[in-house]
Structure 1
């Protein structure tokens, strides 16, 4: 299985998580965006969009990371969360 296929598989599995902290979800979001889009290519949302700012910041935190590294990190984090939730990774 290629890295991209494994990444896509875990991206689907993460949707079955019964619960995860906002911090964990933001980490996954930032890694997902870096893996699929690359470096941030939009302006930071304004004062009246705190959720958008948090997501943008999570993505920005991964700036400069290669897409393959972001995929690997996403898979590692997803495995940790799935195992902590008692789901098979």
Structure 2
């Protein structure tokens, strides 16, 4: 199985994470997902009154130095950690 296929498998597995998953962990996954699928941030930072989108943007910006492959690998690792912690 190639990296892209494994990444897509773990994107599906991430949807089964428990409801109690911390927002910080969800933001890490969001940033890695965006970096893996889109690449470096390509939008302006949302305004200060749009806190949810601003937090997502910040999470993506924090990992923009990673290559798409690195982001995929880190995403897979993070989902594995969260699933293990939940069981």
**What's the TM-score bracket when you normalise by the shorter of the two chains?**
over 0.9
Please give the root-mean-square deviation of Cα atoms over the aligned residues, in Å.
0.6
How high is the TM-score relative to the length of structure 2?
Answer: 0.97
Shift of 1:32: 0.2
**Match of residue 6 from structure 2:** 6
Secondary structure of 1:45's partner? coil
| 2:33 aligned residue | 32
Q: Which residue of 2 aligns with 1:79?
A: 80
Count matched residues.
86
Give secondary structure in 1 for the equivalent of 2:82.
helix
Q: TM-score, normalised by structure 1?
A: 0.94
- Name segments (4+ residues, structure 1) moved above 4 Å: none
Q: Structure 2: where are the runs of 5+ without partners?
A: none
Shift of 1:63: 1.1
* Structure 1 unaligned spans of 5+: none
